[in-house]
């Protein structure tokens, strides 16, 4: 499958299948090697709190850890992966976190692919993969990489019309963006 993109004023065909395989292969290698390298590293920073929250959801206890400073969406999703893997070890929770966090790479690729040709979109994706402030968070129990993936998916979905069809952040008739939700749109449109 190819798509036409404009690069430096001329149309170029982009082989999206080979670009997708490149990003997928790189992601798989990064997951395996990175998880193996960080396997025996002791819990760092806020990891004990995030670990406790994930395990709380795995055991069906619910509620929030008293020191948790983020919404527990990441922890809830990670708990489903941990349950599926069948172990409550730190290594398994880190693997679940890695699986969620590594989603930033396909999300970054989809965003870059919408704006650039194949070589540039792959380069931008690999640039995100090696951001010094992001790389360690792929393999620890942190919400940063998964949160960035969610933001990129939201941004990309807005540009392909999903958010517009659901009424999230839809522009008003004046072209200015109004708040989230249909109620804010009705107020902006005078309905």
H-helix or E-strand spanning residue 10: strand 10-15
The length of the chain in residues reads 191
- Residue 92's domain comprises 2-160
Residues 124 and 184 in one domain: no
Whether 175 has a pLDDT exceeding 70, the answer reads no
Tell me how far apart the alpha carbons of residues 125 and 16 are, in angstroms, rounded to a whole number.
14
Q: CA-based angle 10:15:20, to the nearest 5?
A: 130
Average pLDDT over residues 73-91: 94
Residues 17 and 100 in one domain: yes
Task: Say if CB 47 and CB 28 are below 8 A apart.
Answer: no
pLDDT, mean of residues 14-20: 66
Same domain, 47 and 115: yes
| Contact status, residue 85 vs residue 96, Cβ threshold 8 Å | yes
Instruction: Indicate if 174 and 92 belong to the same structural domain.
Output: no
Q: For the chain, how many structural domains are there in total? A: 2
The reply to whether 44 and 12 lie within a common domain is yes
The enclosing H or E element of 175 equals none
60 & 132 share domain: yes
Helix/strand/coil for 146: helix
The answer to whether residues 147 and 165 belong to one domain is: no
pLDDT tens column, 122-140? 888 888 888 888 877 888 9
pTM of the model: 0.68
């Amino acid at each position: 499958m190819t798509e036409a993109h404009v690069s430096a004023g001329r149309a170029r065909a982009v082989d999206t299948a080979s670009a997708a395989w490149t990003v997928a292969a790189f992601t798989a290698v990064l997951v395996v090697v990175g998880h193996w390298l960080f396997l025996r590293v002791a819990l760092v920073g806020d990891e004990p709190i995030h670990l406790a929250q994930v395990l709380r959801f795995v055991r069906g206890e619910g509620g929030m850890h008293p020191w948790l400073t983020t919404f527990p969406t990441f922890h809830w999703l990670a708990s489903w992966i941990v349950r599926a893997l069948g172990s409550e070890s730190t290594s398994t929770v880190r693997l679940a976190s890695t699986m969620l966090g590594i989603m930033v790479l396909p999300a970054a690729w989809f965003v870059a692919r919408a704006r650039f040709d194949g070589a540039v979109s792959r380069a931008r994706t690999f640039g995100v993969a090696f951001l010094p402030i992001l790389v360690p968070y792929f393999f620890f129990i942190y919400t940063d990489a998964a949160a960035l993936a969610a933001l990129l998916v939201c941004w990309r979905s807005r540009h392909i019309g999903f958010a517009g069809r659901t009424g999230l952040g839809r522009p008003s008739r004046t072209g200015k963006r109004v708040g989230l939700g249909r109620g804010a749109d009705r107020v902006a449109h005078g309905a």
